[in-house]
Amino acid sequence: MAVPKKKVSKSRRDKRRTHHALTPPTVVEDRDTGEFRRPHHIDLKTGMYRGRQILVQKEEEVEEEE
């Protein structure tokens, strides 16, 4: 079993952990719709990516309750 020969100092321990922090996801505002989306991802509201229609939008069916 591996056992450390010396105690790791707080400074050395914290230097190692500097890269462990989580960063919030990057979000950009879409130029056409004004919706927020991830960069380099399809705008799910319109189905557009880089000026081209990628996803075909389904028409929402409104069910009438009787």
> Interior CA angle at 30 toward 26 and 32, to 5°?
175
d(CA 48, CA 42): 6
> Average pLDDT for consecutive 10-residue bins of the chain (66 residues)?
94 96 93 89 87 81 64
**pTM (global) more than 0.85:** no
How confident is the model at residue 31, as a pLDDT?
A: 84
How confident is the model at residue 59, as a pLDDT?
A: 72
d(CA 19, CA 17): 5
Question: What SS3 state is found at 12?
Answer: helix
